[in-house]
Amino acid sequence: MRALIQRVNSASVRVDEQLVGQISKGLLVLLAVEADDDSQSAEKMAAKLLDYRVFNDHNNKMNLSVTDVAGELLVVSQFTLAANTDKGLRPSFSSAAEPALAKRLYLDCVAQLKASPLKVEMGQFAADMQVALVNDGPVTFMLTS
């Protein structure tokens, strides 16, 4: 799994002009499932998302996690993060998981996150989504499990 995380002051996702997910301070997570991922990958990614330290402490150092700051998460599936861009000028998606597996593991990861006390919102799997955000920092990281 790959997750592009962005520390945000707010984020939202719309499908067909309808709001389907919205958060305030927290993490926007763009999540890709790769062909070799499994349930353990989803579990590891969820734990990493909850514990990864990207929020500033009182000394202005990135020492706090989204859990530490009681932040919120907006998780949006984005298979394009699984693209191989090494050759040519067109991405290859051969490493992306098949849709059925990707959906199951995306939902598994979200379920793991929802087991935490934090507010967790999500996009709509395989939909054409419009994502809006106010990036805080900006602070952006790519995580893998």
CA distance 116 to 93: 32
The region, left, alpha or beta by phi > 0 then psi within -120 to 50, assigned to residue 63 is: alpha
**Which one of 18, 55, 67, 78 is the catalytic residue?**
78
**Which one of 80, 85, 130, 144 is the catalytic residue?**
80
Catalytic site includes residue 55: no
**pLDDT tens, 77-117?**
999 999 999 999 999 998 999 999 999 999 999 999 999 99
**pLDDT tens, 32-80?**
999 999 999 999 999 999 999 999 999 999 999 999 999 999 999 999 9
Catalytic site includes residue 140: no
Q: Which CATH class is domain 2-137?
A: alpha beta
pTM of the model: 0.95
Q: Please name the amino acid found at residue 39.
A: S
**Which one of 6, 55, 79, 112 is the catalytic residue?**
79
The full set of domain ranges for the chain reads 2-137
CA distance 30 to 25: 16
